[in-house]
Amino acid sequence: MRITVFIGLLVLIFSCKSKSNENEQAKSNHPYVNYFYPYDSTPRIYCYRNIANGLDEEFHRIYAIKDQKGHHIIVEKYASNGRIIEALNYNYDSLNIIDHMVVDRNNHKNSAPLIKNKMIPWNDKEKVWFWSEYPSHFDSTIVINELKRRVMKKDINITVLEDESRKAIVFSDFRQMTLKNIFTLKTIQSISTTGESIFAEGFGLIEFYSKNKVAHFKLEKVISQKEWIQFIRQ
């Protein structure tokens, strides 16, 4: 019995050590990596609430992986009903997007072509550009999804989850969604918004809102994978 317990403890210690080593080996050259999501292979779910409309929620499932291409952080986005909407795969070294997955009207997951793949600027002078294209919910149309972002403020003091005092960086965002006919290439509809996104040290994205704050999402809590599974089963 004692031998079995001892072996079990050794397995637990080495598995934890292996996981810890994997997380420690992940390095990033990006100057703002401290404001990004922590590299951790254990999934965490960020729960955001629209404080302009308390019934509106959004969930981001965040976890790190390592494969032959290096270290990555995955951000999966879910609607308030627990349905996955899209997923972004960030290369941890550069914080560039290397894959954008979207869910179509038939609930199929598709990898969207990336025209531009930057979402996090490298300095306060650079304006980055993200651009992906994917089929819309309407026949014979595609969506062009664009984000242009630059640094607005750095090293501001902010309170996260009501009691965590952190440094943060504020990005100015210009977002545009364009619906186009795939045959004529004519624009059917185009909607653009301006706003801001706030990333805090040790957390990543904690707040995002439109300029007029009609939509204003703020991090309300962070829950475990187990809690998340219980939530979506309700």
**One domain for residues 22 and 105:** no
Global pTM reads 0.86
**One domain for residues 156 and 212:** yes
pLDDT at residue 24 in the model: 57
How does pLDDT run across 60-112, given as a tens digit for each residue?
999 999 988 899 999 999 988 888 999 999 999 999 999 999 988 778 888 99
Residue 13 has pLDDT above 60, yes or no: no
**One domain for residues 14 and 98:** no
**One domain for residues 174 and 228:** yes
Q: Which domain holds residue 127?
A: 42-232
How does pLDDT run across 36-53, given as a tens digit for each residue?
999 999 999 999 999 988
DSSP the chain: -HHHHHHHHHHHHHHHHHHHHHHHH-----TTGGGS----SS-EEEEEEETTSTT-EEEEEEEEEEETTEEEEEEEEE-TTS-EEEEEEEETTT--EEEEEEE-TTS-EEEEPEEEE--S-SSSS-EEEEEEEEE-SSTTEEEEEEEEEEEEEEEEEEEETTTEEEEEEEEEEEEEEEEEETTT--EEEEEEEEEEEEEETTTEEEEEEETT-SSEEEEEEEEEHHHHHHHHT-
**One domain for residues 65 and 97:** yes
